[in-house]
Chains A and B, each alone.
Chain A
Amino acid sequence: MNSTESPVVTITVPADVRYFRSVRLAIGGLATLVGFDIEAIDDLRIGVDEVCAALVEAGDGADLRLEICAEPGSRLRLEGAVRKGTVAVDQDRFAFSRQILSVVSDDYGYVEDDDQVRCWLERALVSDDDAVDTGRP
């Protein structure tokens, strides 16, 4: 993400489930700036848990570095990266996470490079008219 194009908030938290709440709170605040309603924010918080859990499971125990790009009136993107650990994410087990992410976001991904794992989700703000067509609230 390029900070010159849109505002980016960077959060670094320990790779520990107890810190997911901090990320959820940040997402909630930034999603409000974008203009999401309460249900969409709830979806994004669920997505935070899935992204963070995948990164913790795949990472080497080092801190999670997460970037949140919130464009008022447009979209929100959360992307995290960790150094790859010795245990890969169980893809079967990750199936349900993919199912969840496919519902709570418009775009999501999980990519393993040589020494890094990235996971992200993105959701766009839709107008009331669009919501009728897409089923989004």
Chain B
Amino acid sequence: MSTSRRGTDGDPAELTARFQEYRKTNDPRLRNALVSDTRSLAEACARRFANRGEPLDDLEQVAMLGLVKAVERFDPQFGVPFAGFAVPTITGELRRHFRDATWSLKVPRRAKDLHVRIPVAVNRLSAQTGRTPTPAEIAEDLGVSMDDLLDALDAGAAYRTTSTDTTEGAIAAGHASVRNPVANEGLPPDERVLLTQLLESLDERERTIVYLRFFEDLSQSEIAAQVGMSQVHVSRLLRRALRDLRELAGVDLADLTGTDA
């Protein structure tokens, strides 16, 4: 078995033969080679979704995830070339990313508008009382109903911001590196490896926040103070990071439920 890079424009018969071998052996090295050799498909699909407000690097990561799924699921007995199977799979992954990662179609305008006012109210009330406010206090401060407030808080989970109100430097000042946050957690080795891999998939800011929240048990307010951003922004980043981690861990709920991409 060779792991050299061959590309998708090589001999189709040879590619089919390699997939047949993978179906028989489930050899992870062969799977990795197949992914590597066909990655141009993922890159091409990612470029098709460029200039829609998401960084190309992120899109390529999502597309690669789709490619891995395609490689793992493709069976030459389907009677179609691999590209014909992989492109819809990758495109579906990208569409799901856009559906889940932006708040374009599911969040009412009112909730979006209210959501951006919440951090200001939280900061103001926290300064007044010296503690985290309750939803009732925030709703009263903003002059909105409790239902509207809760809806807006939940809407924030769908908001994917490209701007930041902190810097990597500010995070680094608090925690210079969180390269392997689970190394000393006393977890079984297999779980430790998995968690480490998952966390390494996050960017440093998200990794730091996830680590501080779930492994250091700091509150969102404490994290906010440490990294120099608002509690609401910490909340938003946590939710986004957890969603990304779940997808990376392979819990493809849409597939489980038959949800269309």
Residue among A21, A56, A96 with most chain B CB within 10 A:
A96
Q: In the assembled complex, how far is the CB of residue B95 from the closest CB belonging to chain A, in whole angstroms? A: 14
A79 to B4, CA, bound (A): 51
Query: Is A111 on the interface with B (CB-CB < 8 A)?
Result: no
Asked whether B190 lies within 8 Å of A92 as measured between CB atoms, the reply is: yes
Residue from B122, B150, B195 in contact with A99 in the complex, judged by beta carbons closer than 8 Å? B195
- Whether A32 contacts B195 by the Cβ 8 Å rule is no
Per-residue interface assignment for chain B, residues 237 to 261, with 1 indicating a CB less than 8 Å from any chain A CB and 0 otherwise: 0110011011001110110111100
A120 to B241, CA, bound (A): 22
B131:A61 contact, CB within 8 angstroms: no
Bound complex: CA of A37 vs CA of B130, how far in Å?
13
Chain A residues numbered 12-45 whose CB sits less than 8 Å from any CB in chain B: 14-18, 21, 24-25, 28-29, 32, 35-39, 41-42, 45
A17 touching B191 in the complex, CB below 8 Å, given contacts A29-B146, A32-B135, A35-B134: no
Distance A29 CA – B246 CA, assembled complex (angstroms): 25
A25 CA / B107 CA spacing, docked (Å): 13
Q: How large is the interface on B (under 10, 10 to 19, 20 to 34, 35 or more residues)?
A: 35 or more
Q: Please tell me if the beta carbons of B251 and A103 are within 8 angstroms of each other in the complex.
A: no
Q: Indicate whether B136 reaches chain A with its CB closer than 8 angstroms.
A: yes
- CB A62 to nearest CB in B, in angstroms, measures 11
Please tell me which one of the listed residues B219, B235, B250 contacts residue A136 in the complex, with CB atoms under 8 A apart: B219
Residue B38 interfacial (CB < 8 Å): no
User: Which residues of A have CB within 8 Å of B131?
Assistant: 37, 128, 137
- A-facing residues in B100-142 (Cβ within 8 Å): 122, 131-136, 138
Residue among B146, B235, B251 having the largest count of chain A Cβ atoms under 10 Å = B251
* Distance of A47 Cα from B157 Cα, bound (Å): 14
Residue A8 at the chain B interface, CB threshold 8 Å: no
Q: How far is the CA of A137 from the CA of B223 in the complex (A)?
A: 12
> Quick one: which of B122, B194, B235 contacts A92, CB cutoff 8 A?
B194
Measured CA separation A24–B156 after assembly (Å): 12
CA distance A32 to B134 in the complex (A): 8
Interface assignment of A46: CB less than 8 Å from any CB of chain B: yes
4 A-B pairs closest in CB distance: A95-B191, A28-B150, A17-B253, A137-B219
